[in-house]
Amino acid sequence: MKLLASLFAKASAAALAVHLLPACGLLGNLNHYQVSDDATLGAEAYPELLSGETVISSGADHRMVDRLTQRLVAAARELDPVVANQFDWEVRLIEQDEVVNAWCLPGGKMAVFTGILPIAGDETGLAVVMSHEIAHATLRHGTERMTRQDLLTQLIEAGAEAYSEDAETKQQTEALASDAAHLLVSLPFGRDAEIEADTRGLMYMARAGYDPRAAVGFWERMSSASGSAPFELFSTHPSDERRIEQIREALPEAIRAYEQSLGSR
């Protein structure tokens, strides 16, 4: 809040706040990128992110990651065909025992680090993480966040221009405004997106025939493991209690879907 306070003081930008703050609430799930942009952005970033990594391409863990990803992607294609069918889904298992992380880029390009396997425990545990990551991609959280950043930057720049005549003050304001934009974008939206990805991910798991009840145990294990080290996976995460509480609320529907999927097998 310190940043925001000085921003407002320096630029006499109370009027800016009037524009800016309601805009955050109104943006909702606004995304001014096309679904095909997600695919392009992810495909461009993927080789860069994988370069220099040791990719594991055989063995039991590799087979497990491949199998569960295929099952989860098939579920995502069934439940969210409009977006999921436009993506060319891929996954790589990366040998880094100290990295407790997994990610999915916009457009469905994924990575799993070996460091998360002990916490996942088994295939169902790993399905909790991967379904969550796949849901970030189908819900298009990456380009949604980019949309917010673009719009906030435009608003703040317009505000700085309108409310400051003095060049030095204007420059300072813009620097602060950029920090403030990051603050506004990364915290609250990050948490909402995490909960949204958890909830949708449970439905993918269930549809793919993985017991969604495993999500509670998985996040509890992550929570005790993250006591010792900051994990990237948690950088914008909701508090563990709130996350687990929301998962419990979403479970009955996911369990029904799981039982149905078992019945149809």
Choose between 160 and 233: whose C-beta lies nearer to Zn ion: 233
Shortest distance (Å) from residue 169 CB to Zn ion: 38
Residue of 140, 132, 98, 53 whose CA lies nearest to 225 = 98
Catalytic center residues: 133
What residue number has its CB nearest to Zn ion?
A: 194
Q: Least distance (Å) from Zn ion to the CB of residue 136?
A: 6
Binding-site residue total for Zn ion (CB under 5 A)? 1
Q: What contacts 254, CB < 8 A, 6 or more positions away?
A: 202, 203, 205, 206, 212
CB of 260 to Zn ion, least distance (A): 26
Which one of the spans 76-84, 98-106, 113-121, 186-194 is the region binding Zn ion (CB under 5 A)?
Answer: 186-194
Q: Is-contact 134 78, C-beta < 8 A?
A: no
DSSP string, 54-101: -EE-SSHHHHHHHHHHHHHHHHHHHHSHHHHTTS--EEEEE--TT---
Q: In the bound complex, what is the minimum distance in angstroms from residue 29's beta carbon to Zn ion?
A: 16
Q: Tell me how far, at minimum, the Cβ of 176 lies from Zn ion, in Å.
A: 28
Using the minimum distance from each CB to Zn ion, give the nearer residue, 114 or 131: 131
Report which DSSP code applies to 227.
T
Q: Which residue carries 């317009």 as its tokens? A: 158
Site map 192..231 versus Zn ion, x via CB under 5 A:
--x-------------------------------------
Beta strands in the chain (DSSP E): 55-56, 90-94, 102-104, 109-113
DSSP β-bridge partners for residue 109 = 90
- Hey, which residues between 115 and 174 contact Zn ion (CB under 5 A)? none
Q: Which is nearer to Zn ion, 90 or 194 (CB)?
A: 194
Q: Which stretch binds Zn ion (CB under 5 A): 18-26, 55-63, 190-198, 205-213?
A: 190-198
Q: Report yes or no: 108 and 40 within 8 Å, Cβ to Cβ.
A: no
Rounded distance, CA 142 to CA 104, Å?
Answer: 10
Binding mask 9-28 for Zn ion (x = CB under 5 A): --------------------
Please give the angle made by the CA atoms of 245, 246 and 251, to the nearest 5 degrees: 100
Closer residue to Zn ion (CB): 38 or 194: 194
Residues contributing to the site for Zn ion (CB under 5 A): 194
